[in-house]
Amino acid sequence: MLYTPALAAVPAVPVTVAQPEVEVEDDPISLLPGEHTISRKASFALVNACTLASLGLGLLAIFLAMDGEVRIAAACLVACVAFDGLDGALARKLGVSSPFGAQMDSLADMCSFGLAAPVVVYASLADSVPPAAAAIACAFVAGCAAIRLARFNVSPKDGRFFSGVPTTMAAAVLALTVLIGLDDLPGMVLLGGVTLLAFAMVSSFPYAKLARIIKLPPWLLLLPIVGALIQPQMAFVLIVATYLASGPVMWMRAKRI
C-alpha cells in the first residue's frame, strides 16, 4: 500500500494592493494672496462688498426698468459705475488685489453693464421704436459686452490705453443718455447710437484711460464743465462723440508712424 504524505498547511499571506496616491490639501484655496491678517481680511471684504454692491444695483436697475421706472434704473447704473471704479481703486490702494477679485469684478460687470444696461435701454426705447428692433440692438450690446470682458481677461494689459471702449464707459453713456433726457430723440437715431457703441466695445481702436485724460491741459477739461452748465444735452453729445472718434484717430496716427 502506498502512503501519500499529508501536505503541510501553508499560512495565507496577505496581499497588499497598491492604492493610487491622492494628494489632499490641508488648507482650502486661498482667495487672498499674502498675509491673512485681520486688517487685510477686512480690506479684502470691503473691496468685494463694493463689487457685490455694483452687482446688486445692476439687478435693482433691471427690476426698476421692468416696472417702468426707467430714470431711477438709469441712476442705479450710474451708481454701478461708481462702485466698479471704487472696488479697483480700493484693491490697489489697500494692497489686496487678487485673481479672485478680478473674476468677481468681471462677473459683476457682465451683470450690471452687459445685462442691466441693455434692459434699461430697451425699456426706454420701447415706446419709440419697434420692440423687435430695440431687442436686437440691446441683445447686440449684451453680446459685445461679453466679448469685450472676455477679451480683456485674456489680453496683456496696457497701462495707457484700452482696446475698445470699456463696458463701464459704454454703460455710463447709455445710463446718462436716459438720465438727461436724450431718450426723447428719434428712436432710429438712438438705435444707431446704441449699435455704434456696441461696435466700439469690440473694436481694436485705442481709447485713453482716465489717468491720461486727467493729464490734459486744464482748459480742455474746463470746456466740458462749462458746456454742461450751459447746455448739458449738447455738451454730453459732443463729449461722447469726441471720445468715440478719438479711438479711430489715434489708430490712424499710429499706423502712419
Q: Could you tell me if residue 18 is inside a domain?
A: no
pLDDT digits (tens, 9 = 90+) for 108-155: 999 999 999 999 999 999 888 899 999 999 999 999 999 999 999 888
Can you spell out the DSSP letters for 61-95?
Answer: HHHHHHTT-HHHHHHHHHHHHHHHHHHHHHHHHHT
Q: Could you tell me if residue 20 is inside a domain?
A: no
CB 161 within 8 A of CB 208: yes
Q: Could you tell me if residue 231 is inside a domain?
A: yes
pLDDT digits (tens, 9 = 90+) for 153-177: 888 777 778 888 999 999 999 999 9
Distances (CA, A) of 240 to 30, 214, 217: 42, 16, 19
Integer Cα distance of 71 and 52 in angstroms: 22
Q: Could you tell me if residue 98 is inside a domain?
A: yes
Q: Kindly tell me if the per-residue pLDDT of 65 is higher than 80.
A: yes
Is this model's pTM higher than 0.75 or not? yes
Residue scoring higher pLDDT (225 or 63): 63
Number of domains in the chain: 1
Q: Could you tell me if residue 68 is inside a domain?
A: yes
Q: Kindly tell me if the per-residue pLDDT of 66 is higher than 90.
A: yes
Q: For residue 191, what is the domain's CATH number? A: 1.20.120.1760
Q: Kindly tell me if the per-residue pLDDT of 28 is higher than 70.
A: no
- Domain boundaries, position 92: 39-256
Q: Could you tell me if residue 103 is inside a domain?
A: yes
Q: Could you tell me if residue 34 is inside a domain?
A: no
Q: Could you tell me if residue 219 is inside a domain?
A: yes
